[in-house]
Amino acid sequence: MAVTIVDVAKRAGVSPSTVSRVISGHPRISPATVNKVKEIMADMGYHPNVMAKSLVSKTTSTIGIVLPRPAEELFQNMFFPEVIRGIVTHSSRTSYDLLMATGVTEREELEAVIRLVKGRRVDGLLLLHSRKRDPLVNFLREEHFPFVLVGRSEEHADILSVDNDNVQASYDATRHLISQGHRRIGFVSGPPNLVVSMDRLAGYRQALAEAGLASSPEWIVEGEFLQESGYQAMSFFMSLPERPTAIVVIDDLVGFGVLRGLTELGFKVPQDLGIIGFNNTPMAELATPPLSSVDIGIYQIGYTASQMLIRRIKGEKTMQPRAVIPHRLVVRESSLPPV
């Protein structure tokens, strides 16, 4: 069957350990044997059995990501493809493979993680979003298993994580709308158990408070990261007796839902409602009107997360636990002054 290290050793007239040493670039080994062995390996088409190596070295050269629950819902939004792109770019540069696991229910998700961790299937794990009191986080901490959180942990400051300053980002977005002359500003949020939802809501509130503007509970709506949610939020807002003149939307995709709804109902953007979203999706530029958005550097988030994780795996200690990726306001037509 497949060529093993023993086959190579025999053909080369050396011991398996010598071959092993050649493979791992052991320093003290004669150039002559190195050459001979390498030649024979190439000649025989030898490739080390990854599992055997892992078993003894207790290391896999693989990092895992656990896809947030309904994989169905996941890729609608460009966020995940884009983080994954960042992750895979970095991890492949450092010769790590990427394993994707998924659990549909919360329980399955935890079980998948346990299997990966206890089964020693991966060297580290990337958590793609942060929830309040996340059981995964607790488990991984207890196990002292290397992991990096995309987002921010509320309860543990020492966790490795990469995030935006979402409070500030949302603050900036809201300030922008205020500077355009808006006084009644709404907010379309994401699932309330996600830290990102909280942070962006906080930034929004902070900006309003600072400007001495009122916020009505009616102007804050929660939903999913889906177009549908935007559509619903829009219906709700536009039927209000005193409706907002502009809104901050937690995600471009949700913003597109708003846009579509407004168009259907014959409203004009930004005249009837100013909009600014998050993520600066490629689509944002193409929408009608082009959608203003906060670019949060998703690719870079993924890249950095992989970087931190692999450093952690390799045992680097001198690391600040929290990386903050800068954001950037991209103003387009959808948030120009209403006049």
Partner DNA sequence: TTGAAAGCGCTAACAA
Partner DNA sequence: TTGTTAGCGCTTTCAA
Binding site for DNA (CB under 7 A): 1-2, 4-6, 13-18, 20-21, 23-24, 26-30, 32-33, 48-49, 52-53, 55-57
Decide if residue 118 touches a second copy (CB under 8 A): yes
Measured between alpha carbons, how far apart are the two ends of the chain, in Å? 76
Give me the phi and psi of 102, to 5 degrees please.
-155, 150
CB of 23 to DNA, least distance (A): 5
**Residue closer to DNA, measured from CB, 29 or 88:** 29
* Interface characters, 77-96, with a second copy (x: CB under 8 A): -x-xxx-xx--xx--x----
- The listed partner (a second copy, DNA, none) that binds 94, CB under 5 to 8 Å by sort, is none
Distance of CA 72 to the CA centre of its chain: 17
Decide if residue 223 touches a second copy (CB under 8 A): no
- The listed partner (a second copy, DNA, none) that binds 211, CB under 5 to 8 Å by sort, is none
- The listed partner (a second copy, DNA, none) that binds 183, CB under 5 to 8 Å by sort, is none
- Hunting for tokens 């942070």 — which residue is that? 199
Distances (CA, A) of 161 to 128, 247, 304, 311: 10, 29, 9, 13
Residues 291-320 that bind a second copy (CB under 8 A): none
Decide if residue 45 touches a second copy (CB under 8 A): yes
**Residue closer to a second copy, measured from CB, 57 or 216:** 57
Rounded to the nearest 10 degrees, the angle between the axes of helix 79-93 and helix 298-313 is 40
Number of helices (H), then strands (E), belonging to the chain: the values are 14, 12
Quick count: other Cβ atoms within 10 Å of Cβ 108? Answer: 13
Decide if residue 50 touches a second copy (CB under 8 A): yes
Residue 248 DSSP label: E
**Residue closer to DNA, measured from CB, 25 or 241:** 25
Cα separation, 88 vs 18, whole angstroms: 34
- The listed partner (a second copy, DNA, none) that binds 312, CB under 5 to 8 Å by sort, is none
Specify the amino acid at residue 194. L
Closest CA to 87 of 77, 74, 96: 96
Decide if residue 102 touches a second copy (CB under 8 A): yes
- The listed partner (DNA, a second copy, none) that binds 20, CB under 5 to 8 Å by sort, is DNA
What six digits make up the tokens of 103? 């659990």
CB of 140 to DNA, least distance (A): 20
Q: Which residues contact 238 (CB under 8 A, 6 or more apart)?
A: 261, 262, 265, 267, 273
CB of 272 to a second copy, least distance (A): 17
Footprint of a second copy on this chain (CB under 8 A)? 2, 45, 47-52, 54-55, 60, 62, 67, 71-72, 74-76, 78, 80-82, 84-85, 88-89, 92, 97-104, 114-115, 118-121, 227, 256, 259-260, 282-283, 285-288
